[in-house]
Amino acid sequence: MRGRRSPYEIYWEILVYCRTPRAFTAVINRCDLNSRTGQEHIAFLVARGYLAVAKDGGKTAYAATDRAGEYIALFTEMYRKLFDTVPGFRL
């Protein structure tokens, strides 16, 4: 059970995981995506230049680019800020 993630949260998970080159099946397994949505998200990130496609023989791997680093940094900053700006809950 992964909850209901937004596309931006899924992009972040894919990009963080692809810091080292990963095969398509590894990405969809790790990020808990079905084949169709995994294909859509990866195609989107490749088209935007956040993922690079590396072909080694018959195998295709996806690796995060430098641009992905900027996305990851901005995402991390904004999500961590959610805990800095909103009054917390505690017993």
Q: List residues near another protein by CB under 8 A.
A: 1-6, 8-9, 12-13, 16, 48-49, 67, 70-71, 74-76, 78-91
- CB of residue 12 vs another protein: minimum separation in angstroms? 7
Minimum distance from residue 53 beta carbon to another protein (Å)? 17
- In the complex with another protein, which residue's Cβ is closer, 13 or 33? 13
Task: Tell me which residue of 17, 16, 15 sits closest to 46, measured CA to CA.
Answer: 15
DSSP letter assigned to residue 2: -
Complex with another protein: residue 62 or 71, whichever CB lies closer: 71
Closest by Cα among 58, 52, 72, 62 to 26: 62
Question: Is 14 within 8 Å of 24 (Cβ atoms)?
Answer: no
Other residues' Cβ atoms within 10 Å of the Cβ of residue 82 = 8
CB of 57 to another protein, least distance (A): 31
Q: Tell me whether residue 2 or residue 59 sits nearer to another protein (CB atom).
A: 2
